[in-house]
Amino acid sequence: MPISIRTFLAVVTAIVGVTAAAIAFAPVYTSALSSVEDVIDNLRKEIGVRLQVNVQLLFSSPQLQISSLMTSAKLGAMNTSDKFSMMPYMGEIAASSGISTYCGFEDGTFLQTDSTDESDIVSVQYTVITTQIINIGTFPYNLTLRSNTSELPAGVPDDYNPTLRPWYPGLFARQSWSQVYLDSSGNFSVLTAGGPFTNSTGLKFGAFAMDFPTTLILSYLQDQTVGKTGRVFLMDRLSGGFLGGNWEVQSFVNVSGELQMAQVSDIAWSDALVSRMFSGLGLDFLKNCTATCRATVGSGNGALFVDVLSVTDSYGLDMRLVVLLPAKDFMDKIDHDSKVSIGATVGAVVGLLILAVIAGQVALSPLSRLEERLYAAASLEDDSEDDEDCNFLSEIVNIESAFSTLRAELARIKSFVPQSVLQKMEDGDEEADEDAIRGFSRSQSESSRRTGASSVSKRQGMMSHGMTQSTDDARTLKSKARSSAASRAREKRGAAVLNVASGLVSRQVTLLVANVIGFHATSAESATACMSQHSEYLNIICAASS
């Protein structure tokens, strides 16, 4: 099925435009996605390392302080026989760290220092053993003056013996961490860091301890931003206890009126990302990560990147820092930009297609005019349009030039066509077409009859022969023109055209011009001489035409 050149050009332009846009855009889009994946991977590592290092630094601080106290005792800087001489050392650490610092002695004595609003004043609680445990109570101690700032309160009997407390046996054995437990207030979790203190000979006298509240880590985590909407939380690997995260959630639960430390499974449903991670990986995945573990939940723009980072030290700390980074924090922008780019590309292709169609219409419009002029030329109609080249396409200009040459040749042919034939071609209606067809049949019959009598007509004289041949040619041309007109009318638009189906017919015509004045002179002599001369002329004509 033929299609117009305009449709063909529009389809080709659309295919080329879409293909070019796809070829140009696909590498850019894939490169952008690859770059985003690289950025996300590097960002995961950067965020994980930063959080891991900072959390480990927070945990390392109390153990460094404990190591300092243990070293001071071992080197004799503190007189363990004089409990008051230990207050400046313990008070400085409590004041600088903001963490309660205390120690228990094998004889049951207990000493505790806490920071106050004043940098050089600490609060001291002291219990001594006489015949019974006497709690002297709490009193302020000036670190600068190295003395208490008021009279010691009167002691009262007490039953607190540090050696019988759960934290003491482990810390007296070696420097370590206690298990995570809920503070007595029930608002946060606590880990106790500590270790034994000895004299220069290695004899143990007791244990130092510092209560490290997880509120310090919680405060740090809540200030962290992971991507745009990411999450980070800290958990105890052994117990699965939840220490805190960077969203609003409690680290304790109420079980039958008793406050207990929350488990990861208890708070998993408090946040969509944590819930998704917990559902996809489970608690065992978090507990079994002895080193850094990476996992991905989902895919594409909805992927959730999970990094489990170990927070450990040489003193038995075994925590896990879990970082959740949603891909949409980064992919949304790329996805949005890609959709905008695709929309812009589609718009550009459509715009270019419209421009191409318009340009094609403008550039090919001379072909429509040339088609009309060709039909007019085929019908031997006069064409009054100028031959000036008004198109910028060389092919169309060449076609118009060829048409001008063709029209000039047709104009020459038209000069040999009788006016009656031309008039019949111009009329070109259906009735004339039928008459032309019938006329062609009649002319064929007449032509046959004339062919049989042609030898007789040739002998009737030189002028008579010429007239007969001219009349035959005219009739044949006229009938063929009418037949062609009828055929063309059925095929295209009803206008009669020249018969081009069977081609042009070549004919040989002998034209003899004779001076007939000689016949008058001969006929004046005698009738016999006139007949003899006439016979000679006929013989010449027959010889020339044979």
Q: How far apart are CA 291 and CA 310, in angstroms?
A: 6
Tokens of 223: 């200030």
Question: What is the SS3 string spanning 230-289?
Answer: CEEEEEECCCCEEEEECCCCCCEEEECCEEEECEHHHHHHHCHHHHHHHHHHCHHHHHCC
First to last CA, the chain: 53
Q: Are residues 308 and 409 in the same domain?
A: no
Q: Are residues 274 and 398 in the same domain?
A: no
pLDDT attached to residue 382: 61
pLDDT attached to residue 194: 95
Q: How far apart are CA 59 and CA 294, in angstroms?
A: 23
Cα angle value 293/297/303 (rounded, 5°) = 115
Q: Are residues 532 and 417 in the same domain?
A: yes
pLDDT attached to residue 356: 75
pLDDT attached to residue 386: 56
Tokens of 21: 């846009």
Q: How far is CA 542 from CA 374, 424, 532, in A?
A: 44, 36, 15
Report field, pTM of the whole predicted structure over 0.75: no
Q: Are residues 407 and 321 in the same domain?
A: no
Is position 58 within any domain? no
Domain count of the chain? 2
CATH of the domain at 276: 3.30.450.20
* Domain-ending residue, one of 308, 326, 344: 326
Tokens 């208890």 identify what position?
266
Q: Are residues 458 and 320 in the same domain?
A: no
Is position 271 within any domain? yes
* Domain-ending residue, one of 269, 299, 326: 326
Task: Give the other-Cβ count within 10 Å of 46's Cβ.
Answer: 10
Q: How far apart are CA 362 and CA 61, in angstroms?
A: 82
Per-residue pLDDT of the chain (546 residues; tens, 9 = 90+): 666 666 777 777 778 777 777 776 667 667 666 666 777 788 888 888 999 999 999 999 999 999 999 998 888 887 777 777 888 899 999 999 889 999 999 888 899 999 998 888 999 888 877 666 677 778 898 888 888 877 777 667 777 888 988 889 999 999 999 988 887 777 778 899 999 998 878 889 899 999 998 888 888 988 888 888 899 999 999 888 898 899 988 888 888 888 888 899 898 989 999 999 999 999 889 988 888 899 999 987 789 999 999 999 999 999 999 999 998 887 777 667 767 777 777 787 778 778 877 877 777 777 777 777 777 766 666 665 555 555 666 766 777 777 778 777 777 776 666 666 666 666 654 454 455 455 545 555 554 455 444 443 434 443 344 434 444 444 444 444 444 444 444 444 444 444 444 444 556 666 666 666 667 777 777 778 778 877 887 787 777 666
Is position 487 within any domain? yes
Q: Are residues 399 and 322 in the same domain?
A: no
Tokens of 282: 């489970």
Task: Give the other-Cβ count within 10 Å of 75's Cβ.
Answer: 10
Is position 53 within any domain? no
pLDDT attached to residue 531: 80
Q: Are residues 537 and 408 in the same domain?
A: yes
Is position 160 within any domain? no
pLDDT attached to residue 503: 45
Is position 23 within any domain? no
pLDDT attached to residue 539: 80
Q: Are residues 305 and 409 in the same domain?
A: no
* Domain-ending residue, one of 284, 308, 326: 326
Is position 297 within any domain? yes
Is position 202 within any domain? no
Nearest 5°: phi and psi at 537?
-65, -40
Question: What is the SS3 string spanning 310-333?
Answer: EEECCCCCEEEEEEEEECHHHHHH
Helix axes 527-545, 517-525, angle to 10 degrees: 140
Q: Are residues 274 and 402 in the same domain?
A: no
Q: Are residues 424 and 506 in the same domain?
A: yes
- What range does the domain containing 280 cover? 214-326
